[in-house]
Every structure is written in structure tokens, then in C-alpha cells.
């Protein structure tokens, strides 16, 4: 696993983000140079986010994953005083970028076996 950061504009889509990722990683990773953006996947909180969605749309609409919000920017309480496995988690983890080929080859193995394609049904609050 490698950690990188990118700055995006307000309306950038996941597809545009993946294009920037490809350009940033191309000098270091030969296999990324030859793959198309359509063959890259963005995974956030065990959800594969389709290329047409924008980060802004997901944040404004408070998009939710299986265990809570996909993006959470609120002030947090001290985790040591409120650690309770029965409560919904609101911390947000870094997203992952993987090649579709890798996912197809490993989708039966953890962690890829947990990943599902994001749909609006995850965002509906009950």
C-alpha cells in the first residue's frame, strides 16, 4: 500500500480523480501507464464508487456506506471515552485505488470480497 495525496476542484468526478491518480503514479508504476482510467476503481469504506459521481455530490448529500458516512468532516469527541462497538462509526478512512483486473482476480478474497458497488440505497437513512 502506498499513500499519496491530491487536490481536487469542487465538482471533480471520481473519473477525473482517477485520471489524476494515473498521471501521478505513472512515473513509478509501469502497469499504471498502460491502463485506462476506466480500468481503475475507487473504493471507499468497502464501496466501489462509480466514475460519474463527484466528491462534492457525495459529501453534500452525506452519502453513507455500510457502516456510516463515506466522508465525515465534523468535530470528533475523544474516541477513548466513547469507544462502543454498538454505536455507528463516523470516522472516515482513506480511499483505495485498484485496477479492475486486480479486483476481478481477487474479489473472492478479503478485503475485496466485502466490496460492493455504491448505489443511492446505501445513502437512504432509515
What confidence tier does 125 reach under pLDDT thresholds 50, 70, 90? very low
Average pLDDT over residues 111-123: 82
User: What pTM did the predictor assign?
Assistant: 0.78
pLDDT at 104: 96
pLDDT at 93: 72
Name which residue leads in pLDDT, 101 or 93: 101
User: SS3 letters for the chain?
Assistant: CCCCCCCCCCCCEHHHHHHHHHHHHCCCCHHHHHCCHHHEEEEECCEEECCCCEHHHHHHCCCECCCCECCCCCCCCCHHHHCCCCCCCCCCCCCEEEEHHHHHHHCCCCCHHHCEECCHHHCCCC
Residue range 50-89, pLDDT digits in tens: 999 999 999 888 888 877 888 876 555 555 445 555 555 5
Residue 23 has pLDDT above 50, yes or no: yes
Average pLDDT over residues 33-39: 91
Give the phi and the psi of residue 101 in degrees, each rounded to 5: -60, -45
Amino acid at each position: 500500500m502506498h499513500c499519496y495525496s491530491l487536490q481536487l476542484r469542487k465538482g471533480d468526478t471520481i473519473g477525473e480523480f482517477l485520471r489524476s491518480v494515473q498521471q501521478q503514479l505513472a512515473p513509478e508504476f509501469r502497469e499504471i501507464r498502460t491502463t485506462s482510467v476506466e480500468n481503475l476503481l475507487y473504493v471507499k469504506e468497502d464501496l466501489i464508487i462509480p466514475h460519474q459521481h463527484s466528491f462534492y455530490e457525495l459529501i453534500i448529500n452525506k452519502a453513507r456506506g455500510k457502516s456510516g458516512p463515506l466522508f465525515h468532516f465534523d468535530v470528533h469527541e475523544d474516541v477513548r471515552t466513547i469507544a462502543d462497538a454498538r454505536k455507528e462509526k463516523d470516522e472516515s478512512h482513506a480511499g483505495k485505488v485498484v485496477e479492475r483486473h486486480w479486483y476481478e482476480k481477487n474479489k473472492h478474497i478479503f478485503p475485496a470480497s466485502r466490496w460492493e458497488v455504491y448505489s443511492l440505497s446505501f445513502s437512504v437513512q432509515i
